[in-house]
A and B are shown apart, each in its own frame.
Chain A
Amino acid sequence: MSEWAVKCSGVTKTYKTGGQSTYALRGIDVAVRPGELMMLVGPSGCGKTTLISVIAGILDRDEGECTIFGEDFKAMRPGQRTKFRGLNIGFVFQQFNLLPTLTAAENVAVPLLINRENRGHAIRRAKEMLERVGLGEKVNSLPSRLSGGQQQRVAIARALVHRPRLVVCDEPTSALDHVTGERVMDLLKDVALEDGRVLVVVTHDQRIFKYGDRIAHMDDGRVTHVDAPEPANETMGGI
């Protein structure tokens, strides 16, 4: 098995709108090891979100190679891709995207229900997960009754409850104040990185850069440099 959990090389992506082409990714080389927290940072419009969308298999790349735990989304049929994503990837979104009419526990149980687990079992697992993120007393609360930080913790619990191998976080702290943001990152680092899990975090919040094992700086669709403690021969391409 590859030493890389995520490995992308020469990835390009172009958006075509009204006859105009926008180059979002211009040959990205990036790789992440199991148990590693990789940060993708850079100014707005630099391609961070497009890159994690490609990594998570919800956008198709145009060119290049990209494998997740040795599997290539492009080689999968749509159904297989959806199933693979449901089993192996957890998501933490900038706006949380919790279902507003479901309680915290019910929201956390959703990935398990997508993977066709029994509802009672799913709710039990969801409650255990909420205990782990410190929301044991909020299992029956609706998202509207929770603070921003608490909602993000519910989202983290939802991203981890089905024990995915990769967790993709899009600006997890941008909707939170500084203190709450740090708490969320502490939680992500403590809980999410267990069992050799991989975290890819997109952010432009410099206050949380310190949580990354490596930081890939992006600009204009390219990775310009990586703050990497590893020896140079272990990195790939521009990293």
Chain B
Amino acid sequence: MLWTAIRMLIGDFGKYLGMLFGVTFAAFLMTQQGSIFWGLMSRTFGFVTETNQPQIWVMDKRVQFVEDLKPLSETTVNRIRGIEGVEWAMPLYRGLIRARLSNGVFQQCWVVGIDDTTFIGAPQTMIEGRIEDLRRAETVIVNEEGANGLLARRMPDGSRIPLKVGDTLELNDRRALVVGICRTIRTFQTQPVIYTTYSRAVQYAPRERKILTYVVAGLKPGVEMTAVQNRIAEATGLKALSQNEFQMATLSFFLRFTGIPINFGISVVLGFVVGAAICGQTFYQFTSDNIKQFGALKAMGAGNSRLLGMILLQAGIVGVQGYGLGVGLAALFGLRSGLGQKTLAFNLTWVHLGAVGVAVTLIIMFAAALSLVKVMRTEPAIVFKG
């Protein structure tokens, strides 16, 4: 009978396509919008993900997210180094500084100052040049996006000449020689990212009483993270977060204080509702059109459990195919958009696939339930009504 159910489903090709479209549409929209949402959210803490060497980030206790800059005293680094369980602690500067390009154009840039000797906080991927080149005087490394984008020189004919190794720019009236191009994880901000040493970064930065942004630290082997975090908090009155905690704090801030989740949530819910409506309505219509046939099957000895199995199989086939198509199309969309490294943020995770799977199952259950109620209530005597 299951084979008969499949033949009934696929034989009515128009309705089969309609149901498949409904589920595919829902799965595609939920996957695509969800992936873009998560891609965007991942970018909010992109700088923390990029800076993956430290285990602990120390910051002012009022800092809520990674761009919420509340400078610390320079002496904080040594205080952290003296805390039990801390293997090493280095200063990290991060701030917005105005750069002047060779053609006189000004551009705001994120300047990251990493430890002069260990280079802790350096970008993970160098495209051109070496991190060690920062030991030379007045040198900086620029990220690829910035070099090709906002820091590129615009020519009169409209073309752009990317910033390259050997070019110079001015940061706060000080000369900066580009010695490398790096690739960084994209962040929520569009400004170019310029890496230099900490000591040089504080020279570029505008004069302020406090200038240190973070202290990043590593733990001694075998030491419990929470214990060290508590000791840092007690000793300094500062906040010490693990990389994951800092990422989640940043994510939480954007979730709570921006309209992004609501906007994407609406799209996801819309995909769910429209998919459920199309699929449910078409499946119900399919069952209604075949109700006499279902009645005939009942009269001929097919019990409710057999018909239940047939309907669930039909719904299941549509669900699995629609899920596969929808998720596949969304993944293709993501691949075409460069998996998050280009303009469009797209981050498809297993959790996401599971969540969409659950949503599609709910849609299918809803569609099947509508039909099941109709079939279960059908009296076999219906077949004798002309």
Contact B303 A97, beta carbon cutoff 8 Å? no
Q: Contact partner of A114 among B10, B290, B292, B306, CB < 8 A?
A: B306
User: What is the 8 Å Cβ interface bit string for chain B, positions 368-383, against chain A (1 contact, 0 not)?
Assistant: 0000000000011101
Task: Indicate if A115 sits at the interface (CB-CB under 8 A).
Answer: yes
Contact A49 B384, beta carbon cutoff 8 Å? yes
Q: Contact partner of B299 among A85, A87, A100, A115, CB < 8 A?
A: A85
User: What is the 8 Å Cβ interface bit string for chain B, positions 274-289, against chain A (1 contact, 0 not)?
Assistant: 0000000000000000
Quick one: which of B7, B8, B300, B386 has the most chain A CB within 10 A? B300
**Residues 342-386 (chain B) with a chain A CB within 8 angstroms:** 379-381, 383-386
- How far is A58 from B382 in the complex, measured between Cα atoms in Å? 10
Contact A95 B386, beta carbon cutoff 8 Å? yes
Interface size for chain B: under 10, 10 to 19, 20 to 34, or 35 or more residues?
Answer: 20 to 34
Please indicate the chain B residues that have their CB under 8 angstroms from the CB of A87 in the complex: 301
- How far is A233 from B298 in the complex, measured between Cα atoms in Å? 38
Task: Indicate if B12 sits at the interface (CB-CB under 8 A).
Answer: yes
Please indicate the chain B residues that have their CB under 8 angstroms from the CB of A86 in the complex: 300-302
Contact A102 B300, beta carbon cutoff 8 Å? no
Contact A97 B383, beta carbon cutoff 8 Å? yes
Contact B383 A100, beta carbon cutoff 8 Å? no
Q: Which residue of B lies closest to A95 (CB)?
A: B386
Task: Indicate if A94 sits at the interface (CB-CB under 8 A).
Answer: yes
Please indicate the chain B residues that have their CB under 8 angstroms from the CB of A18 in the complex: none
Task: Indicate if B126 sits at the interface (CB-CB under 8 A).
Answer: no
Task: Indicate if B101 sits at the interface (CB-CB under 8 A).
Answer: no
Distance (Å) between the CB of B13 and the closest chain A CB? 9
Task: Indicate if A83 sits at the interface (CB-CB under 8 A).
Answer: yes
Which of A27-35, A105-113, A192-200 lies at the interface?
A105-113
Contact A93 B300, beta carbon cutoff 8 Å? no
- How far is A114 from B306 in the complex, measured between Cα atoms in Å? 8
Please indicate the chain A residues that have their CB under 8 angstroms from the CB of B8 in the complex: 99, 101-102
- How far is A215 from B4 in the complex, measured between Cα atoms in Å? 38
Please indicate the chain B residues that have their CB under 8 angstroms from the CB of A99 in the complex: 4, 7-8, 290, 293
Q: Contact partner of A106 among B4, B293, B301, B385, CB < 8 A?
A: B4
Q: Which residue of A lies closest to B289 (CB)?
A: A100
Contact B303 A115, beta carbon cutoff 8 Å? no
Task: Indicate if B3 sits at the interface (CB-CB under 8 A).
Answer: yes
Contact B11 A102, beta carbon cutoff 8 Å? yes
Contact A95 B299, beta carbon cutoff 8 Å? no
Q: Contact partner of A97 among B7, B292, B301, B381, CB < 8 A?
A: B292
- How far is A97 from B380 in the complex, measured between Cα atoms in Å? 12
Task: Indicate if A235 sits at the interface (CB-CB under 8 A).
Answer: no
- How far is A97 from B297 in the complex, measured between Cα atoms in Å? 9
Distance (Å) between the CB of B164 and the closest chain A CB? 66
Contact B384 A79, beta carbon cutoff 8 Å? no
Contact B296 A93, beta carbon cutoff 8 Å? yes
**Residues 196-228 (chain A) with a chain B CB within 8 angstroms:** none
Please indicate the chain B residues that have their CB under 8 angstroms from the CB of A89 in the complex: 300-301
**Residues 101-139 (chain A) with a chain B CB within 8 angstroms:** 101-102, 106, 110-111, 113-115, 119
- How far is A118 from B1 in the complex, measured between Cα atoms in Å? 10
Task: Indicate if A147 sits at the interface (CB-CB under 8 A).
Answer: no
Contact A101 B10, beta carbon cutoff 8 Å? yes
Please indicate the chain B residues that have their CB under 8 angstroms from the CB of A53 in the complex: 381, 384
User: What is the 8 Å Cβ interface bit string for chain B, positions 1-25, against chain A (1 contact, 0 not)?
Assistant: 1011001101110000000000000
Task: Indicate if A187 sits at the interface (CB-CB under 8 A).
Answer: no
Contact A82 B303, beta carbon cutoff 8 Å? yes
**Residues 65-99 (chain A) with a chain B CB within 8 angstroms:** 78-79, 82-83, 85-87, 89, 91, 93-95, 97-99
- How far is A79 from B293 in the complex, measured between Cα atoms in Å? 20
- How far is A49 from B383 in the complex, measured between Cα atoms in Å? 10
Q: Contact partner of A85 among B290, B300, B383, B386, CB < 8 A?
A: B300
Contact A119 B3, beta carbon cutoff 8 Å? yes
Please indicate the chain B residues that have their CB under 8 angstroms from the CB of A85 in the complex: 299-301
Interface residues of B, Cβ cutoff 8 Å to A: 1, 3-4, 7-8, 10-12, 290, 292-293, 295-303, 306, 379-381, 383-386
The 13 listed contacts between A and B (C-beta, < 8 Å) are: A86-B301, A87-B301, A93-B383, A94-B386, A95-B386, A97-B292, A98-B293, A99-B4, A101-B10, A106-B7, A113-B1, A113-B4, A114-B301
Closest 3 A-B residue pairs measured CB to CB? A86-B301, A101-B11, A97-B296
